[in-house]
Amino acid sequence: MSHQNQDVSKFLSYVLRHQPESIGLTLDSEGWANLDSLIACAAKKGRILDLPLIRSVVENSDKKRFSISDDGGYIRAVQGHSSKQVDISYEEQTPPQYLYHGTATRFIVSINQDGLLAGSRQYVHLSADITTATAVGQRHGKPVVLTIDALAMYQNGFKFYQADNGVWLTTAVPVTFIGE
Ligand code: HQG
């Protein structure tokens, strides 16, 4: 991704996941923002966007972070939200036996005590494979990958969802389901 695209991607992540109000934007409960409103709100803050640029960011996003509605009028982040405006009605899914969580070694003591918590986000994010989880963990420091007994959690009543980009979501993971 070009520098400009990366910069726009970060801006879109910020307003579509975390702080839409910082530019006076409103998201609906499914996370959708009207594209014309987004462009207008951004322009008022001196951030000049246009449709081709936004489309290029959406299409080239390595993790497929965003989606544009079928009618072309709306955009949303597919996961990673902390904004209270958003409560996406993800469809419940049966998870595979194991899912993986990449984190940094310095968090392990705390995770072994409290389990995995969503923190500021709405969900704990889990990966379907170890390579992806390692990359997620690397963002925070020396990576470590935890193996989550997802199917056992599911059989114990925990709900799992999968975002459009394949990231698995659950509200919290108790210590008993975490292995290394
Ligand atoms: C850790 C990226 C201490 C948790 C990725 C993680 C992902 C605890 C950090 C998405 C803890 C939160 C999300 C506990 C959890 N004690 N630390 N009890 N429970 N943690 O960034 O999963 O590039 O909010 O292990 O690809 O790293 O943004 O979550 O290290 O899909 O599109 O607290 O973000 O996608 O960090 O990443 P984050 P995450 P994007």
At 69-85, the pLDDT tens digits run 999 999 999 999 999 99
**Is the pLDDT at 180 greater than 80, yes or no?**
no
| C-alpha 49 – ligand 1 centre gap (Å) | 29
> How does pLDDT run across 88-102, given as a tens digit for each residue?
999 999 999 999 999
Produce one character per residue of 116-145: b if its CB has 16 or more CB atoms within 10 Å, e if not: beeeebbbbbbbbeeebbeebbeeeeebbb
ipTM: 0.95
With beta carbons less than 8 A apart as the criterion, state whether 16 and 75 touch: yes
Q: Where are the alpha helices (DSSP H) in 2-125?
A: 3-13, 35-44, 51-60, 108-114
Q: Is the pTM above the cut of 0.90? A: yes
Q: What is the whole-number distance in angstroms between the Cα of residue 104 and the centre of ligand 1?
A: 9
Contacts 24+ apart (CB under 8 A), 151-156: 151/94, 151/95, 151/96, 151/97, 151/98, 152/177, 153/95, 153/177, 154/94, 154/95
Mean pLDDT for the stretch of residues 111-119: 97
DSSP state of 112: H
Closest CA to 165 of 90, 97, 99, 79: 79
Residues with CB under 6 A from ligand 1: 63, 65, 80, 103-104, 107, 110-111, 114, 116-117, 119, 121, 125, 136, 140, 167
Tens-place pLDDT, residues 162-178? 999 999 999 999 999 99
Q: Which of 98, 94, 114, 124 is nearest to 180 (CA)?
A: 98
Ligand 1 atom 23: the closest Cα is on which residue? 63
